Amino acid sequence: MIRIEGLQKSFGEQHVLRGIDVDFYEGQCNLIIGLSGSGKTVFLKSILGLHSVDGGSISFDGRILGEMSKKEVKSLRQEMGMVFQGSALFNSLSIEENVRLPLDFFSNMTPEEKAERVRFCLQRVRIEEESFGKTPAELSGGMQKRVAIARAIVLNPKYLFCDEPNSGLDPETAIVIDQLIHEITHEFGMTTIINTHDMNSVLEIGDHVILMEQGKKAWEGRMDEVLSSDDSSVVDYVFRSNLFKKLRTALHKS
């Protein structure tokens, strides 16, 4: 479990995170939703330790990030996997090398064991063996995202972070990526945190949903509560589009 207490972060005069308290549970897809500029990405990067925080605490199964030594943080990082918005695959390396990189750095596996693990992870995200030698530039956006997921899970992490995993993907590929993350989370019992704008993701895989508004947690609940909630923040965010307004009206009628 990841526990966040009173998290604050400012950039100069601009207060981006204004005291957030939230728990992210194991074996669940924890979705963070909110408008652009609500602080979702800064929040995620602060949990990852990519931004230093101004106040509050972040604890990973009782281990408080701010109180850990550099060595402990380094070892914690090996329990984390991250899928970036733009995939962030290394262009100079092949798909196979991209996925193997964390193993080369942090495992004592033999080359054969590494190859086997890489093959397992890539096949788990449904990448064909003939694509293993290709470079990221030769893959479609959806395939790049799948390779990024394979790289994120190669060290068998306890915590998986995804920043807008569906951005730039067509609806069909977006559903495939959502389902893949959902399956992997449940299969490996990971604590998964996903930043998203995509309401479809919320309704498909949102085991636990947090709505952020102006650097604060505005609402939290389950995916089935999102459509039925009367909370003004949720209503404002979810029912902005005509499609969802009609859906809400239909739901109320039924």
Q: Does 14 bind other proteins (CB under 8 A)?
A: no
**Smallest gap from residue 61 Cβ to other proteins (A):** 18
CB closer to other proteins, 151 vs 182: 151
Which of positions 78-137 make contact with other proteins (CB under 8 A)?
78, 80-82, 84-86, 88-92, 101-102, 104-106
CB closer to other proteins, 86 vs 133: 86
Q: Does 52 bind other proteins (CB under 8 A)?
A: no
**Smallest gap from residue 74 Cβ to other proteins (A):** 5
Q: Does 175 bind other proteins (CB under 8 A)?
A: no
CB closer to other proteins, 106 vs 239: 106
CB closer to other proteins, 6 vs 66: 66
Candidates 7-15, 77-85, 111-119, 218-226; binding stretch for other proteins (CB under 8 A):
77-85
Question: What string of H, E and C letters represents the secondary structure of the chain?
Answer: CEEEEEEEEEECCEEEEEEEEEEECCCEEEEEEECCCCCHHHHHHHHHCCCCCCEEEEEECCEEHHHCCHHHHHHHHCCEEEECCCCCCCCCCCHHHHHHHHHHHHCCCCHHHHHHHHHHHHHHCCCCHHHCCCCHHHCCHHHHHHHHHHHHHCCCCCEEEEECCCCCCCHHHHHHHHHHHHHHHHHHCCEEEEEECCHHHHHHHCCEEEEEECCEEEEEECHHHHCCCCCHHHHHHHCCCHHHHHHHHHHHHC
Which of positions 55-74 make contact with other proteins (CB under 8 A)?
74
- Count residues near other proteins (CB under 8 A): 24
Q: Give residues in contact with other proteins (CB under 8 A).
A: 45, 48, 50, 74-75, 77-78, 80-82, 84-86, 88-92, 101-102, 104-106, 161
